[in-house]
Amino acid sequence: MILRQILRLSSLFRSAVSIHARRNIGLSAIVFNKTKELDPVQKLFLDKIREYNTKSKQAGGPVDAGPSFQKDIDESLARLQRAYGEGDLTKFPEFKFE
């Protein structure tokens, strides 16, 4: 009887230690990944995304889009409005639940 209780407590102790160790390893892996230097391809990719973000904020829309792009967007919006009715198709719809 005492042996069963000891074995039960030891299995509970092992599972608790196992969960605690896994969590600590997971946290240390995240901290390690944030502190290490990015791989050159990842760094280049992130730099290009940041550069595009600043350019699109300055341009107020898509970067290097000519008048044909705007014409295509206007035609697509007109076609969608004819197909699906009125409303502003450039913003997310507002739902009202009662």
From CA 94, how far away is CA 59, in angstroms rounded?
28
Q: What is the pLDDT of residue 63?
A: 81
Q: What is the pLDDT of residue 12?
A: 64
Output the average pLDDT for the chain: 78
Q: Which residues of 58-88 are buried (b: 16+ CB within 10 A; e: fewer)?
A: eeeeeeeeeeeeeeeeeeeeeeeeeeeeeee
Quote the tokens at residue 46.
């992130």
Q: What's the rounded mean pLDDT across residues 42-49? A: 91
